[in-house]
Amino acid sequence: MIRLADDLGHLAYVVSGDGPAVVLVHAGVADHQMWDAVVPGLAERYTVIRHDLRGFGESAPPAGPYSDVDDLRRLLDHLGHERVRLVGASWGGRVAVDFTLAHPERVHSLALFAAPWPGYDWSAQMHAYDGAETAALAAGDVDAATQVNLDMWLRGPAREWADVAAGLADRVRGPMRTSLVNMGVRDQHGQGPGTSDLAGISVPTLVGVGKLDVADFQDIARRYAAEIPGATLVEFPTAAHLIALDAPDELAAQLSTFLAV
């Protein structure tokens, strides 16, 4: 990982391959490693850029007010990329949406997978998850909070742990724990999602969701696909929330076709 230092700490990033630039923005319960199985195929044709958002992975927790959108712009300026193909998962998907709205001239195409919706009327299931996570963190039990998140976002509500590929929980547990440890400082300093009109997005857009994900996110994916002009919706039958972990080959195939446009 390479470090880009600034007044707030530093961003860690890694670049693979050669060709037009593709940026992969990770989920809010993971780090750049969630894309590991997808990168090799993309790097055969593209310059693949991944960074850890502040407070995730190897990027330092923020020392003051920050914006994930501004951080991404700063990173692209540093690397000399004027226009990119932008891909985001979960919170990273919302970062990608907000970046596209803020800097439309810098985005060639947009792909978002299981992105949240600002102000969404969450289900009782989501409120129960949030309550369990909050209680665990209030008790100082980060391990319990991590397990709550593994159950919700990796296993998902529609399957048992025996149905999840061996080793995936071990891969994501560390990054997920780091995200929880730094949640408070991120919430204190971070800028929330934008509220701009999605009709303003004019680039080719792919919206994806796992069929084993929480029902809220399946509904949200349909909303994104309906409100972004010309967007295409794709569903992944064997994936829960973290599609890049559950169905990397299927995701890579979809991206390979979409990014070539």
The pLDDT value given to residue 192: 76
**Contact, 198 vs 68, CB < 8 A?**
no
Q: How far is CA 64 from the centre of its chain?
A: 22
Contacts 24+ apart (CB under 8 A), 67-73: 67/190, 67/191, 68/95, 68/98, 68/190, 68/191, 69/95, 69/98, 69/99, 69/102, 69/103, 69/191, 69/194, 71/11, 72/23, 72/25, 72/99, 73/99, 73/102, 73/103, 73/106
Query: Residue 46: what residue type?
Result: Y
Residues 6+ apart with CB under 8 A from 81: 21, 47, 49
Q: Mind listing the domains of the chain with CATH numbers?
A: 2-121+186-259 (3.40.50.1820)
> For residue 164, what are its two tokens?
């999840």
Is a pLDDT exceeding 90 seen at residue 191? no
**Residue 193 banded pLDDT, cuts 50, 70, 90:** confident
What CA–CA distance (Å, rounded) separates 142 from 181?
7
**Residue 28 banded pLDDT, cuts 50, 70, 90:** very high
Residue 233 pairs with which residues in a beta bridge? Answer: 207
Instruction: Give residue-wise pLDDT tens across range 144-160.
Output: 999 999 999 999 999 99
Give me the mean pLDDT over the 52-65 stretch: 97
Is a pLDDT exceeding 80 seen at residue 232? yes
pTM of the entire structure? 0.96
The pLDDT value given to residue 65: 95
Percent of the chain, pLDDT > 70?
100
The pLDDT value given to residue 256: 95
Instruction: Give residue-wise pLDDT tens across range 233-259.
Output: 999 999 999 999 999 999 999 999 999
Report helix, strand or coil for 86.
strand
Percent of the chain, pLDDT > 90?
96
Residues 6+ apart with CB under 8 A from 216: 120, 122, 123, 125, 126
Report helix, strand or coil for 211.
coil
Q: How far is CA 212 from the centre of its chain?
A: 17
Instruction: Give residue-wise pLDDT tens across range 72-126.
Output: 999 999 999 999 999 999 999 999 999 999 999 999 999 999 999 999 999 999 9
> For residue 193, what are its two tokens?
């999602």
Smallest CA-to-CA distance from 35 within 44, 23, 45, 47 is with: 23
The pLDDT value given to residue 29: 96
Q: Is residue 143 classed exposed, middle or buried when 0-12, 13-18 and 19+ CB atoms within 10 A define those classes?
A: exposed
Is a pLDDT exceeding 90 seen at residue 51? yes
State the chain's mean pLDDT as an integer: 96
